[in-house]
């Protein structure tokens, strides 16, 4: 099989309600570009019928490749699994909920063909709750300040990347990462285009309030050590306030006597609570960074692929085996071992199933 011009990577988690429509619209949009392509559906440990539907789509359509993870690893880990299987010169990522229309793929390709390394998107008439829009605006502003890259919608998964950008990201071994920011750190030329945004019509959002907060926290701490520097600033401010407060208390005691402020007991408690709260905040943030170091030092794989299914030939399998071998020979051996060897099993016509052991 010839190398496709572009690959579309879609992480899927419990999206059986809209998966048929997703595949149909993606195939229609990609075929409309008149270029060769592959559609990579990555099942991130779904508990509904998504995995079986992906298998059926891979067997039915020659352009579809199904990548099945053995459990849920998270959206960005699933995207990395799709990156590792992709072969196109341009790789496009897309959410499976159809809020970002697949019909925008052609717009991304047109912009990429003008010479950009990364093309992001900005959702117009965004169909999300007020909380999500406000949180997204705050995080986008923080990211722009920290990275210096003036993109306005880092939360939109509909994006396009050059092959060398994806290859560079695959060499990064940290577990806690945010793909749009990581990609921009390697890109020389980036831009954005406006895309439409639809309301979710089927299924339900996989991001609860807690997961959204956790995602924003991961985003901020994965891209910069600024929060640690902020702790130093906060500590200096608290220390200065403490000195000033102490001077104020001494002056008031001289003026009004010890009766003022109940012999100083309540004042002591107020100052103590402020300092203890600041201390726990600092310890929690330091612990977050230390925890990330711990996860990376353990060198466990980012994900484990249970099955790759689709119209892959033996040459594609050899490419994957070569990638696994190169990973094992790298100085960072063990961090990203994607299960070798690949064992081709008999299948009808050109379809092959690759089970990863």
Rounded CA-CA distance 132/315 in Å is 44
CB 108 within 8 A of CB 121: yes
pLDDT in tens, the chain (357 residues): 578 999 999 999 999 988 999 999 999 999 999 999 999 999 999 999 999 999 999 999 999 999 999 999 888 899 999 999 999 999 999 999 888 889 999 999 999 999 999 998 988 876 556 656 666 666 666 666 655 556 666 678 899 999 999 999 999 877 767 788 888 889 889 898 988 877 766 656 555 556 656 666 666 666 666 666 677 677 777 767 767 777 777 777 777 766 665 566 666 766 777 777 777 777 777 777 777 676 667 667 888 899 999 865 433 444 444 444 444 444 334 333 333 333 334 333 344 444 443
Q: Burial of 129 by CB count in 10 Å (0-12 exposed, 13-18 middle, 19+ buried)?
A: exposed
* pLDDT of res. 196: 84
| 6-223+300-356 under CATH 1.10.10.60, yes or no | no
Here the contacts of 137-141 (C-beta below 8 Å, separation 24 or greater) are: 139/216, 139/219, 139/220
β-partners of residue 309 are 66, 353
Q: How far apart are the first and last CA of the chain?
A: 24
* pLDDT of res. 115: 93
Decide: pTM greater than 0.75.
no
* pLDDT of res. 284: 72
* pLDDT of res. 10: 96
* pLDDT of res. 7: 96
Domain ranges of the chain: 6-223+300-356, 226-297
Q: Burial of 314 by CB count in 10 Å (0-12 exposed, 13-18 middle, 19+ buried)?
A: exposed
* pLDDT of res. 142: 62
């Amino acid at each position: 099989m010839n190398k496709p011009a572009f690959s579309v990577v879609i992480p899927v988690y419990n999206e059986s309600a809209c998966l048929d429509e997703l595949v149909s619209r993606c195939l229609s949009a990609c075929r409309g570009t008149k270029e060769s392509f592959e559609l990579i559906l990555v099942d991130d440990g779904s508990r509904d019928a998504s995995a079986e539907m992906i298998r059926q789509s891979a067997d039915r359509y020659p352009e579809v490749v199904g990548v099945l993870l053995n459990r849920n690893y998270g959206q960005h880990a699933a995207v990395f699994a799709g990156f590792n299987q992709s072969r196109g010169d341009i790789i496009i990522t897309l959410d499976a909920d159809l809020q970002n229309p697949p019909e925008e793929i052609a717009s991304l390709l047109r912009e990429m063909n003008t010479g950009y390394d990364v093309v992001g998107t900005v959702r117009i008439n965004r169909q999300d709750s007020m909380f999500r829009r406000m949180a997204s605006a705050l995080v986008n502003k923080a990211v722009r300040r920290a990275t210096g890259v003036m993109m306005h919608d880092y939360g939109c998964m509909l994006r396009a990347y050059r092959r060398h950008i994806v290859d560079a990201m695959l060499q990064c071994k940290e577990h806690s990462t945010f793909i749009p920011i990581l990609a921009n750190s390697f890109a020389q030329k980036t831009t954005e285009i406006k895309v439409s945004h639809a309301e979710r019509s089927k299924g339900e959002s996989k991001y609860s309030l807690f997961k959204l907060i956790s995602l924003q926290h991961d985003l901020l701490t994965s891209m910069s050590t600024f929060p640690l520097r902020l702790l130093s600033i906060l500590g200096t401010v608290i220390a200065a306030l403490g000195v000033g407060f102490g001077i104020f208390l001494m002056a008031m005691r001289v003026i009004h006597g010890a009766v003022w402020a109940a012999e100083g007991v309540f004042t002591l408690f107020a100052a103590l609570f402020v300092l203890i709260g600041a201390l726990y905040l600092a310890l929690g943030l330091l612990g977050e960074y230390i925890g990330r170091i711990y996860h990376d030092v353990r060198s466990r794989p980012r994900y484990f692929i249970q099955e790759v299914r689709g119209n892959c030939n033996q040459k594609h399998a050899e490419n994957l085996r070569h990638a696994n071998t190169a990973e094992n020979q790298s100085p960072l051996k063990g961090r990203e071992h994607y299960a070798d060897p690949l064992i081709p099993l008999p299948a009808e016509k050109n379809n092959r199933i690759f089970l990863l052991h």
